């Protein structure tokens, strides 16, 4: 899963208010080159959306559940076809629940203590959150004592800035409302932004190989 997330380079966060649009949005993202998507479980329609995306998108789509805060949500995510669970916080018990379900945990951490706690609990990916206000230099500083950690900076990152984070050592970048607004937006505009992100990912990966 770490290799797959690194290859994807970006995780599109679907925090939608109208989940009837989810398959169309997910298809546009996938066709633009973004394979990893996170459906946030803070909406009652999220489980159904995750099932629909799993049924409609090709098998190499990396679908996960976000805003996971309880073991019951982990169970539902697994039932709906999620491959990873993203949380806004670090909770060792929750990380273990995700691992026990056979899924990849991606806990949120904003301090060195939280990063260490997440890694010690078994997480192999760490969501740096909220990354936008913290900035690229903050992640670089964390990569000193936590060299080799697969950080996925998320929160307040613009789609045009994905390349900056990847060049600084991020495994991938989580992109929310700047890429996929929660309110309805024209699918073509979402696709255009996704294409721009995919171009940045390809450019950075090419430069590092």
* CA angle (35, 40, 46) in 5-degree steps: 100
Give the chain's end-to-end CA distance (angstroms, integer): 20
User: Of the residues 75, 79, 127, 160, which is catalytic?
Assistant: 127
Beta bridge partners of 150: 125
Helices and strands (H, E) in the chain, number of each type: 10, 9
Question: And the tokens for 67?
Answer: 């805003």
Is 38 catalytic? The answer is yes
User: Of the residues 31, 38, 75, 160, which is catalytic?
Assistant: 38
Is 56 catalytic? The answer is no
Please check whether residue 71 is in contact with residue 94, taking contact to mean a CB–CB distance below 8 angstroms: yes
Please check whether residue 176 is in contact with residue 86, taking contact to mean a CB–CB distance below 8 angstroms: no
The neighbour count for residue 35, using CB atoms within 10 Å, is 21
Residues forming the active site: 38, 127
């Amino acid at each position: 899963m770490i290799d797959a997330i690194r290859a994807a380079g970006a995780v599109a966060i679907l925090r939608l208010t109208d989940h009837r649009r989810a398959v169309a949005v997910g298809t546009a993202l996938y066709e633009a080159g973004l394979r990893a998507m996170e459906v946030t479980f803070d909406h009652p329609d999220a489980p159904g959306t995750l099932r629909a995306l799993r049924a409609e998108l090709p098998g190499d789509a990396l679908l996960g559940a976000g805003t996971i805060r309880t073991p019951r949500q982990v169970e539902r995510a697994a039932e709906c076809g999620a491959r990873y669970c993203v949380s806004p916080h670090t909770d060792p018990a929750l990380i273990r629940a995700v691992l026990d379900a056979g899924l990849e945990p991606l806990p949120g951490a904003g301090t060195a203590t939280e990063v260490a706690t997440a890694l010690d609990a078994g997480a192999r990916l760490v969501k740096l959150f909220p990354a936008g206000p913290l900035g690229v230099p903050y992640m670089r500083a964390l990569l000193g004592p936590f060299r080799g950690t697969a950080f996925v900076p998320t929160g307040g990152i613009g789609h045009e800035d994905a390349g900056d984070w990847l060049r600084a050592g991020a495994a991938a970048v989580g992109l929310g409302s700047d890429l996929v607004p929660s309110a309805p937006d024209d699918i073509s505009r979402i696709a255009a932004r996704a294409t721009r992100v995919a171009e940045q990912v390809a450019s950075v990966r090419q430069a590092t190989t």
